[in-house]
Chains A and B, each alone.
Chain A
Amino acid sequence: MFRRLFPAAAVFGALIAIHPLGIAEALPPPVERPVDFEKDIKPLFEAACIKCHASGKAKGGFSLETRAAFLKGGDLGAGAIPGKSAESYVVELVAGVDPDEIMPKKGTRWTPEQVGLLRAWIDQDMPWPSHITFAKPPPENFHRREVKLAAGAELHPVDQLLQKYWTEKSVKAAPQVDDRTFARRAYLDLIGLLPTPAQLEVFLLDEAWDKRAKLVRTLLADRSNYADHWLTFWNDLLRNDYKGVGFIDGGRKQISNWLRQALVENKPYDQFVAELVNPQPESEGFARGIIWRGSVNASMLPPMQAAQSVSQVFLGVNIKCAACHDSFVSDWSLEDAYGLAAVYADEQLELVHCDKPTGKTAAMKFLYPELGGIDPKLPKAQRLDRLAGIMTSDANGRLARTVVNRLWARLMGRGIVEPLDDMEKPAWSRDLLDWLAEDLVAHKYDLKRTLEVIATSAAYQSAVVGAPREKEEYVFQGPFAKRLGAEQFCDALSQLTGDWTRQPSSLEFDFLVTGELQNVRLPEWIWTDEPVALGPQRDAVRAARGEMDASLKALEEARKSADAAISKGGAEIESARQQLASASAAIGKAQERLTAALTPPPALAPEAGKRHVLPPGDRHRLAFRKKFNLDAVPTEAYGTILASQTVQVHVNGQEAKPIQRDGFRNGRIMLLNLQPLLKVGANVVAIDVNSHTDKSMNDDEKKLFPASTMHLNAQSGIAFYMRGGAMEIVTDSSWRVRRNPEGTWKDAALVDAEWASATALPAGVTPVDEAPSLEPISRQDFSSLPVMLGPQLRPAVSIAAQPGRIRAALTAADPLQVALERPNREVIVPVRATAPTTIQALELTNGATLNERLQTAAVRAVAESGANPAGWLERLYVHGLSRKPTQAEAALAAEIIGSPMTSEGAADLLWAMVNLPEFQLIR
């Protein structure tokens, strides 16, 4: 009875001293029958004890995960003594002998009968079958596991594994679909487009035995269409192309171009994940999350968002509950969530339990410590590098499983594990999941390989099956029919109507870098060297800026060595300190020089109290011109302008209104539709640049840049690009420039000789959008000016040069897409809602977006095919449904389009077509 000597049991001790036999008498008697652990005791433990004393938790040092642990007891001594229930402390606790020490602490007290059961069990020497434990189970779907396939079998690996599964489940595989159904399914699933009648024809006529596999490979090799389709999938998962709150304060950064590029290049998935977990500036939007205004709940602070997103998307682990409290539905604890968040935090994180600070500091760790630890002493960059390494390490079998499961679900309509974000749930076929995962790893994380494997299986090519009834166990028998997503629907609509938008949601998509566009002549940045009077000052600014850049770099170096020195300790710290001090001093000097260079000559200084706006007709207004001849007007001509100042583009005297602008403060990157302004013969592009804005500045801005400094900007420049067919017009030094031109300068008739030649900016000089600030762009505050225009050039040009169409995923959501469940992505969307809704049906029935598009298409259809309506409607069927209309359908369709064909009739047929379940479902 040594336990009773423990101080915490002092009261007890006293009690016993007085009344040594008291306890045994106070206890309910043991039951008088053999006790079965599994039947009698396990349920008691589960109901009352395990919440605090199992699954890795051991409150008071006591765990009852195993018999041995139970015997060992906790801080207060042994838990139980076999054969001596009256002397076993745990019995006293559950019996409530001491009113201050009763177990369970929360919940219902044990009945005397229950205590009697426990006593009997202890008295009967505590039989405890060794296979029963209350330990935290090993993680599901986690460890790498190779699945052996039958040697020499010719069956597709997926089908081989499914054959075994189906035999076990006594179900039969669904029949294979015909070629038309397969083609439509594969096109829509892999590249998100309908097969065109011509593409379908080619496929149907192909007599190769492996033509389906060939088609799958061909589709996956279509890099642009593959990327533009899967962009939707990844946007949903990565919360990218987010439209919503958080932008006001620069709280959100998109990763659209990085993501699209990764898809075009089919970046290996492990590298893809590493670049998102430990991001470069182009991919940091994901881990940065969304920064909301105002006071934000601790569980939604950026490091915690990063932890939640990383674990949910890549590992199928939901720690949203654990971000506030130990999860009630899984084994994740508050410490787990904070452990991961701490990796992303700039400072130490305090654990906050349901908005109440606990005073405890988060201990940095990965969710699965078995994969390795992260040294909290490392600087953040190295911690993230380490985290990325752990996530993508060979030992992490969860990474590949999570993504192959998502891809399977995408193609089959349901995952091997469901929900897709809870990979702790068992797979319906462990072999299939593990084989797919290992196959992905074996193929260097090539996601297209996994898609190919799935899409070439007989399972994928079998007829669709119905969803299980409620409460019915899911058994895979074949794919579900899937409904077209918003983007798929809109792309299919564009295919049927032939009308595509040219307006991407962002001008940052770069179609050049991916090699999708070739033979594009990049424009040069141009400006003027006049007026000479300001030349020296500009040079001084340039020089000072260079000096500033150099000293900032030096400081960065010094910081790095300081970090290194601090982690090493010792004498190096002192030298690092000196290095830092001298770098800081250099910056101070550079700053002084820059300020001096930027101080305007007295003539330009504003009068006290006046607005810092130059008068109209200021000498810094610049005009650029370029003449060119056209033998014919191209059918399509788009252009782009990038400018460091407010700008207008005129073609043949008419202003070209932007169809899209990327806005920083003044939106000086524009996409222009120039075709309507072009004519045969002499044409002129005239660009009007106002080197001041007409807005008043706030106090901070006035302090930051005294009058006129922005007009002395060393980094002014414009670039223009236009393409129409083979014609390309780009800025270079053949352009003419003049200050404050007057009269008909936007006219082609003007003689260029009176104008000076434009100056191409030296290589490496990057124009800046209204560069008012002297600070380099801070990554924490990316939305602030200045914005470097240089990196924007190629994307903007590529969008103008792009001859094709902009797919829906790259456009901004319109009311139709929103009604069709394109999300705004405030939260991660692993699976979109696909159930039809009334409000959606209303939008489809009387929404302006769809009806206007159908109307336009119908007018064109009448103009182009009015003479052969039967041919038109047959093509419509083949394109929309991948099959010809039946006789009955053809007759009905002919009836509605009228004879002769009317645009109303054509619009009504188009409307009916896109609303047919057969059209909206991928079967």
Chain B
Amino acid sequence: MSSSFNRRDFLKSASLATLGALAAGRPSLFAAGELEKIAPTADTVILLWMGGGMAHTETFDPKRYAPYVSGMDPNTVLSTFPSIPTSVDGVHFSQGLEKTAAVMDRATLIRTSLAAELGFILHSRHQYHWHTGYTPPQSVAAPHLGSIIARTLGPRDPAIPAFINIGQRFDLGESEELKAFTTAGFLGSEYGPFNIPFPHQAAEAVRPPGGMSPGRFENRDKFYRRLMEASPVGQHGSEHQRDSMVRAMDNAHRLLASPAAKAFDIALEPDASLRKYVPEGFDAKRLNSVKQNRDGDYEAGTIGRFGLGCLLARRLAEVGARFIEVTTEYIPFLNWDTHENGHSRLVNMKKMIDAPIAQLVLDLEERGLLDRTLVVLASEFSRDMMIEGREGSKLRNQSRVPDRIEDPKYYGMHRHFTEAGSVLMFGGGMKRGHVHGVTADERPCKSIKDPVILEDLHATIFRAMGIPANLAYEVEERPFYVTRDGLGKPVMSLFA
């Protein structure tokens, strides 16, 4: 017999593990190098997603303000809003974010978050990259950050799905692109997102099906169990499959019947508390019918949806959710995706986010949850009035900038900028009142000190959750690391 060497044999143990995992129905950890044991500083992550590209100079990193003057030179425009002070001396935000500015003393602000260079800039590609840590396409289906956390840590409360995704619809533009990363990928759908496109309808997702009374629902379930017990078949051979099916049904039923499910029902929130999250004149009934247009004419109803999402996130964090993403919603050319009317649109976008962010932080703090809840606000890239990608890049410009601005629609940050971006973090073990990194005060307003690449940002989030950046799962007999090639390095200076 030949005892010739084959490297595959080294993986024998891994393959055995795979088999076991197959039986258990989930991918196994890849036995790689040493994994650091990390004491987590957070139990829950709430990701506030500014989909569409949020300009740093218009939000958390204001530069010299150039008020609108007809005929102005676009090169002179770095910020279209004046700056305002925050609760931390010397740290300024852009006008319109007053409430968030008031809680800056609880925040860690990264001003130098770099977006990857992925060639021709497409939102969906950068969003995919931000959410999975990998550039699309991949030869295996890459899991979303939330799925990695769900797989690694599991739910905090078995009745609450470990990964809840609030505010994104999947039947609008680029929906397939969005679906491509809003998935557990190879980790398996058990760790996939529980999607709640409309927060005010969240309760429906965890209620008996339409038209069924709770009494009938309970009866149906009891009857189902009795029928199953009465079945003469299935006493041998496939107990495992049978048991796991019953367990899944139990989980679903537990969620639907659990007191925790009430957390999904925003209608149960006292009105006074709900009002803090939504603008004046908000009417949830109008949420489904409101149409947004590209001029930035936003009704209060639309604006309130993100606020409701933040409120829902708080309610879910209270009952033990693990990972929640709340998005302002990515719709091509809408919301943060300003290819024109950047200034006027941002007036509304700030109305959309300012109060809810601040209120979320204050509510979590009041409930004693902020210390163990990591809130992260981020976007796929930033924007600039002149520069596409980065300085000197040969990328095709995706919006027109005239030599002189004679129409307010050209006044705003309309091009995709990758050399700096603001990431705001609260709680979960991060410092308070801390600013990381410096960006230039003149165009290009790029990162000039302590830039943070995505791998390191992810590693920081993972570390807060107690997950080493070189953790890997096995797929097709090879490792898939939670940060690219396992190389992410947490930014230790952010931790308190």
Contact = CB atoms under 8 A, between A and B. Distances in A.
Contacts, number: 248
Interface in A220-250: 243-245, 247
Interface size class of A (residues with CB under 8 A): 35 or more
B190 A838 contact: yes
A299 B238 CA distance: 41
A885 B208 CA distance: 28
Contacts of A6: none
B367 interface: no
A848 B204 CA distance: 11
A738 B250 CA distance: 65
A135 B4 CA distance: 7
Contact of A133 (B4, B208, B216): B4
B17 A470 contact: yes
A847 B25 contact: no
B248 A837 contact: yes
Contact of A912 (B18, B176, B223, B240): B223
Interface stretch (A418-426, A506-514, A587-595): A418-426
Contacts of A134: 4-5
Given A300-B139, A840-B248, A917 B124 contact: no
Contact of B209 (A243, A320, A321, A845): A845
A467 B477 contact: no
Contacts of A318: 476-477
Contacts of B436: none
A497 to B, nearest CB: 16
Contact of A300 (B137, B141, B189, B478): B137
Interface stretch (B39-47, B228-236, B310-318, B455-463): B228-236
Contact of B23 (A470, A840, A883): A470
A331 interface: yes
A382 to B, nearest CB: 28
A596 interface: no
A846 B256 contact: yes
Interface string A438-471: 0000000000000000000000000111111111
A604 interface: no
A7 to B, nearest CB: 33
A38 B188 CA distance: 43
B68 interface: no
Given A299-B139, A300-B138, A912-B227, A921 B242 contact: yes
Contacts of B234: 917-918, 921, 923
A920 B25 CA distance: 17
A749 interface: no
A915 interface: yes
A329 B7 contact: yes
Interface string B209-238: 111100010011001101110111110111
Interface in A819-840: 819, 821, 824, 826-827, 833-840
B19 interface: yes
B268 interface: no
Given A470-B20, A470-B24, A888-B230, A331 B223 contact: no
A836 B247 contact: yes
Interface in A485-511: none
Interface string B236-264: 11111110111111011101100000000
B487 interface: no
B224 A826 contact: no
A680 interface: no
B17 A845 contact: no
Interface in A866-923: 881, 883, 886, 888-889, 892-893, 895-896, 904, 908, 911-912, 915-918, 920-921, 923
B455 to A, nearest CB: 15
B477 A892 contact: no
Contacts of A54: 5
B237 A481 contact: yes
Nearest to A917: B242
Contacts of B478: 320-321, 328-329
Given A133-B2, A886-B230, A835 B476 contact: no
Contact of B228 (A466, A840, A904, A917): A917
B198 interface: no
B244 A835 contact: yes
A468 B240 CA distance: 11
Given A470-B23, A834-B25, A916-B228, A293 B120 contact: yes
B176 to A, nearest CB: 5
B37 interface: no
A918 B2 CA distance: 47
A923 B119 contact: no
A451 B253 CA distance: 40
A844 B477 contact: no
A918 B226 contact: no
B449 interface: no
A256 B25 CA distance: 30
A877 B204 CA distance: 32
A474 interface: yes
B275 interface: no
Contact of A840 (B20, B121, B189): B189
B476 A421 contact: yes
Given A329-B8, A889-B230, A918-B233, A839 B194 contact: yes
Given A826-B180, A838-B252, A418 B139 contact: no
A857 to B, nearest CB: 14
Which of A137, A245, A481 has its CB near the most chain B CB atoms (within 10 A)? A245
B4 A848 contact: no
Contact of A836 (B135, B176, B210, B244): B244
Interface string B1-30: 111111110010001111111111110000
Which of B122, B139, B238, B249 has its CB near the most chain A CB atoms (within 10 A)? B139
A839 B228 contact: no
Given A470-B23, A837-B188, A923-B238, A889 B227 contact: yes
Contacts of B239: 466
B272 interface: no
A243 B252 contact: no
B432 interface: no
A921 B220 contact: no
Contacts of A15: none
Nearest to A854: B209
B279 interface: no
A331 B10 CA distance: 12
B180 A55 contact: no
A330 interface: yes
A245 B125 CA distance: 11
Report the 10 A-B pairs with minimum CB-CB distance, sorted nearest first.
Answer: A835-B25, A295-B119, A470-B20, A841-B252, A481-B238, A836-B248, A841-B248, A837-B190, A838-B251, A851-B209
Interface of A: 38, 46, 50, 54-55, 131-135, 137, 243-245, 247, 290, 292-297, 299-300, 308, 318, 320-321, 323, 328-331, 418-419, 421-422, 424-425, 463-471, 474, 480-481, 483, 819, 821, 824, 826-827, 833-842, 844-848, 851, 855, 881, 883, 886, 888-889, 892-893, 895-896, 904, 908, 911-912, 915-918, 920-921, 923
25 contacts: A38-B3, A55-B7, A244-B179, A294-B118, A294-B122, A318-B476, A328-B478, A330-B7, A330-B8, A331-B7, A419-B476, A419-B477, A474-B19, A836-B244, A837-B192, A838-B251, A841-B251, A842-B206, A847-B209, A893-B227, A908-B220, A908-B223, A920-B245, A921-B238, A923-B233
Interface of B: 1-8, 11, 15-26, 118-122, 124-125, 135-141, 161, 176-177, 179-180, 188-190, 192, 194, 205-212, 216, 219-220, 223-224, 226-228, 230-234, 236-242, 244-249, 251-253, 255-256, 476-478
Given A320-B139, A418-B19, 6 more contacts: A293-B120, A300-B138, A330-B8, A419-B477, A845-B249, A921-B241
